[in-house]
């Protein structure tokens, strides 16, 4: 039976998720001076439909997730398959830093809204926003991809300890740098100006930004040292090192042969929710003697 608390929380989450659309609807009259009646009506209808869709979809997802949770909570294996299994390897840590990209998304709307952009335009807030978007959306995922695919290319794993030093040094350093840039941008520091009056009190924050930048450089240097050392002395990548369910890790050796699956006949089997469960199989050979099954 579904509790009243769960229903209340579902309604609250749904309404909160729809608040951005609601705020747009409430603020729409402020822009009536710039819109024709037809444009106003179209925008109002669009925001109202988006709001309704958000409420319905959020409530529906909360309901279905809650029903499944209460159905599985007494069965540990089923609950594990429902909630998912995450292995915090260095490649996963790198992938999780993609969430830094969300900071770029969250700091973008103020730069696109007239009332706030009048103050933020051409300040260091835009520099911080840009770094969150570009570095968080591209550079962090590139590092994650290198950690993940390096063993398949070279046959050796990157050193996990050096990889974690790289991750735990670069991530907070990057946040120090970008939050510092956005802070002094909010204080009015402009872009593309070499010298500032010390009375503006930008010096200390700029020092922190510089320290963050140098720490990022050190972290990247550690990454490249790891890259070259592991090519010769790294741990041999034997088998499905990432506990992956994809064929390139379950049946191919590392490094992969030139013609990857030549002579191999197999099919992908199993259910996505089987991941992490004991005895689960994801790739199955279709002709004996070619490859062996491998699960998690």
Predicted local confidence at residue 292, as pLDDT: 42
Predicted local confidence at residue 296, as pLDDT: 42
Predicted local confidence at residue 80, as pLDDT: 58
Predicted local confidence at residue 1, as pLDDT: 44
Predicted local confidence at residue 224, as pLDDT: 95
Predicted local confidence at residue 174, as pLDDT: 93
The tens digit of pLDDT for each residue in 23-40 reads 555 555 555 555 566 666
Residues of the chain scoring pLDDT < 50:
1-2, 288-296
Q: Three-state DSSP class for 281?
A: strand
d(CA 202, CA 184): 7
Residues 184, 124 contacting (CB under 8 angstroms)? yes
The tens digit of pLDDT for each residue in 64-96 reads 566 555 655 566 655 555 555 666 777 777 777
Q: DSSP string covering 184-210, please?
A: HHHTTPBSS-S---GGG--HHHHHHHH
Predicted local confidence at residue 236, as pLDDT: 87
Task: Look at the alpha carbons of 205, 207, 210, 215 in this order and tell me if their dihedral is positive or negative.
Answer: negative
Largest CA distance in the chain: 78
Residue extents of the structural domains in the chain: 4-74, 90-233, 244-296
Predicted local confidence at residue 291, as pLDDT: 43
Cβ within 8 Å of residue 25, ≥6 positions away: 44, 47, 48, 51
Cβ within 8 Å of residue 193, ≥6 positions away: none
């Amino acid at each position: 039976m579904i509790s009243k608390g769960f229903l209340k929380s579902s309604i609250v989450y749904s309404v909160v998720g729809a608040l951005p659309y609601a705020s747009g609807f409430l603020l729409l009259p402020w822009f009536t001076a710039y819109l024709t009646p037809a444009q106003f009506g179209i925008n109002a209808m669009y925001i109202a439909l988006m709001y309704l869709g958000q409420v319905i979809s959020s409530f529906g997802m909360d309901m279905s997730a809650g029903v499944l949770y209460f159905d599985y909570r007494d069965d540990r294996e089923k609950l594990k398959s429902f909630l998912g299994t995450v292995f915090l390897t260095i490649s996963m840590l790198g992938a999780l830093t993609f969430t830094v990209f969300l900071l770029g998304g969250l700091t973008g709307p103020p730069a696109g809204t007239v009332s706030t952009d009048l103050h933020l335009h051409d300040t260091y807030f835009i520099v911080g926003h840009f770094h969150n978007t570009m570095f968080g959306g591209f550079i962090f995922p590139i590092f994650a991809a290198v950690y993940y695919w390096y063993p398949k290319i070279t046959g050796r794993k990157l050193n996990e300890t050096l990889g974690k030093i790289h991750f735990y040094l670069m991530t907070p350093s990057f946040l120090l740098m970008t939050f510092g840039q956005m802070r002094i941008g909010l204080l009015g520091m402009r872009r593309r100006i070499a010298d500032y009056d010390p009375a503006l009190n930008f010096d200390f924050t700029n020092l922190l930004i510089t320290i963050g930048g140098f720490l990022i450089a050190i972290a990247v240097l550690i990454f490249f040292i790891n890259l070259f050392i592991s090519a010769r002395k790294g741990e041999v990548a034997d088998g499905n090192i990432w506990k992956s369910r994809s064929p390139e890790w379950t049946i191919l050796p590392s490094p992969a042969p030139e013609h990857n699956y030549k002579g191999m006949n197999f099919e992908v089997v199993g259910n996505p929710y089987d991941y992490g469960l004991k005895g689960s199989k994801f790739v199955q050979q279709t002709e004996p003697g070619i490859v062996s099954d491998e699960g998690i």
